[in-house]
Chain A
Amino acid sequence: MAEVILTDRLTKSYGARRGVIELSFSVSPGEVFGYLGPNGAGKTTTIRTLLDLIRPTSGRAFVFGLDPRRDAVRIHARVGYLPGEFSLYDHMTGAEYLTYLASLRGGVPAERIRELAERLDVDLGARIRTLSHGNRQKIGLIQAFMHRPELLILDEPTQGLDPLIQHEFTRLIEETRADGRTVFLSSHVMPEVERVCDRVGIIREGRLVAVEEIGDLRAKELRTLEIRFGQPIRPDAFEGVPGVREARVNGETARVTVTGPMDALVKRLAAFEVVDLVSHEPSLEEIFLTFYGRGEEHGG
């Protein structure tokens, strides 16, 4: 089995609470796979099943072709994992914590840990209880990356990181990809996934509603423009313009929803006196509603 991750109708039920329902997807070696969905959609449930922290209700999952239920230890040896919610041992220093985990992994080059700490700008000498949330997140990242695992499973990895460090994180992912290693990254933030991933699985209410190449998703990209004109314009001014999905004109203002390239719209706008133009990045929820709003009716 060549796929690094493979799931086949993977289902986890929690009684009344939603889990995940019949997930089937695969992640190839060397790929950076984004797992995108709103909070509570089932991202963490999927990830914890892959690591044998929880067990599926039905269906199967394979990591490196191994069954997590039977071969958890062999899988763990090749995986670096950052949970979405975690604590470190408060009374330890960062260095003590990382060396403890390094020992459980059979040793990690000290130079590697120092390098990561420098790049992410975190003081490993400080007691963890004195560290900010962002700094704890960095130590979580270091423990996931330090042993150069073949597969990184990162659950909402950039929460709490400042933009400079997020950039460094992006570089870490790129280096991992350059090494031919694989990344499975969950997020509820579209731009983060766009920045680093090759392919995206979109999960909503426990179901995988789409798996797309990032380029294809970008082509579908949705934008809302708020435009103010110098004089009232006709309500049908944007009819027939390629890419415009919806246009609401109200005298001197218009709210236009566009997908894909904006060229045609901009050329149409050139015919008017434009006083102001604001472009909104749509929320993930808007994208879901636009493209995957009928998710529940598919599959199952």
Chain B
Amino acid sequence: MAAEVLRARPLLATVFRKTAWEQRRAIFWWGVGLFAAGAMYAPFYPSIRENAATFEQYIQEMPEFLREAFLGRTGDFTSPAGYLNTELFSLFAPLLMLLFAIGAGARAIAGEEERRTLDILLSTPIPRSRVVVDKFLAMLAGGAFLALMLWLSVPLTGPPFELRVDLGNLAAAVLMCFLLAMAFGAIALAVSAGSGRRGLAIGVAAGAAAGSWLVDLLVPAVEAISWLQYLSPMHYYLDPEPMMNGLGIVGSLVLAGIALGSFVAAIVLFERRDLAS
């Protein structure tokens, strides 16, 4: 008689699949949120378009640094691409994506450690690094799903309101938004893995994101220190304006580099330390 060997349902067979499976409900609602974020600006677009001339005049009268800070580099606010660039991709979409990614990254190791589930998990024959890899992949998968929802929302809800954009450029903008979120999510993961403290991980990553955004917003206005903006990850997200210009190669590489570097740091830091009992 062949003995039945108990293996988990495929959905629970690895740390990655378990983590991904566990976040399914949360991810669903985040997905709804991202879709809604992409959809909610569409109904307002016709009125923006009708009053384009008024807006243009208003915009021209703004001080330059305010215009740059709030309307993007090109100052294009009334074309479909410019409208989404300004309204959706300058704040709300990256904010939601960042909240998700920082939460997932911070929870990854420190969440299990603080809840005291980590000792048994790490007493199985899987290396510590594998746990970090799987948690990172689960964050990537969740973020990718949210990015897809964001991307879908525009062509599915925009056309009735004459909001039609190049889907390739939209994909580029969504991809860069995803990379930005993964960069700060990976920073949260590194602090989570290195300290075992979820609150600290959230604080550091969210603080870095907010600080980075402020630097990019304010620094360019001051000539003498405007070079500081190049230290801000947010600069590499906002500056390329992919809705108009397509994928920003340098910006994407920098953001991906931050994500990968932080991910490697997470593994190294986690391998080196004592786990809290």
Chain A contacts to B: CB under 8 angstroms: 44, 48, 51, 53-55, 72-74, 76-77, 79, 81, 83, 85-89, 91, 96, 98-111, 113, 140, 143
Question: Are B120 and A99 touching (Cβ within 8 A)?
Answer: no
**Contacts of A103 on B, CB cut-off 8 Å?**
7-8, 12-14
Interface centre among A55, A83, A86, A108 (most CB of B within 10 A): A86
Inter-chain contact B5/A105, CB cutoff 8 Å: no
A76 to B121, CA, bound (A): 11
- Chain B residues contacting A87 (CB-CB under 8 Å) are 115-117
Q: Are B274 and A73 in contact (CB under 8 A)?
A: no
> Which residues of the partner chain B approach A109 to less than 8 Å between Cβ atoms?
3-6
Chain A residues contacting B13 (CB-CB under 8 Å) are 100, 103
Contacts of A53 in B (CB 8 A): 119, 122-123, 274-275, 277
Tell me if B125 and A107 are in contact (CB < 8 A): no
| Cross-chain contact of B277 among A44, A81, A105 (Cβ < 8 A) | A44
Chain B interface residues (CB < 8 Å from chain A) = 3-9, 12-15, 18, 22, 115-117, 119-128, 274-275, 277
A96 touches B12 (CB 8 A): yes
Inter-subunit contact B120/A73 (CB<8 Å)? no
Residues of chain B within 8 A of A79, CB atoms compared: 123
- Which residues from chain A contact B274 at a C-beta distance below 8 Å? 53-55
| Cross-chain contact of A83 among B7, B18, B120 (Cβ < 8 A) | B120
Contact of A110 with B116 in the complex, beta carbons under 8 Å: no
Q: Is the CB of A102 within 8 A of B277?
A: no
A107 B4 Cβ-Cβ under 8 A: no
A99-B8 contact, Cβ under 8 Å, with A79-B123, A87-B115:
yes
CA distance A36 to B122 in the complex (A): 25
In the complex, the chain A residue whose C-beta lies closest to that of B125 is A77
Contact B117 A105 (CB under 8 A): no
Q: Is the CB of A74 within 8 A of B125?
A: yes
Contact A104 B126 (CB under 8 A): yes
* Contact partners of B117 in chain A: CB under 8 A: 86-89
Bound state CA distance, A88 and B127, in angstroms? 20
Q: Which residues of B contact A48 (CB under 8 A)?
A: 119, 275, 277
Residue of B nearest to A88 (CB): B117
A28–B14 Cα distance when bound, in Å, is 34
Q: 6 closest pairs, A vs B, by CB?
A: A77-B125, A110-B6, A54-B274, A81-B123, A103-B8, A104-B124
For residue B237, give the distance in angstroms from its CB to the closest CB of chain A. 35
Across the interface, name the chain A residue whose C-beta is closest to B22. Answer: A91
Query: Using Cβ atoms and an 8 Å threshold, which residues of chain B touch A91?
Result: 22
Complex-state Cα separation, A74 to B125, whole angstroms: 7
CB distance from A184 to the nearest CB of B (A): 13
Q: Tell me the bound Cα distance from A81 to B119 in angstroms.
A: 9
- Quote the shortest CB–CB distance from B136 to chain A (angstroms): 17
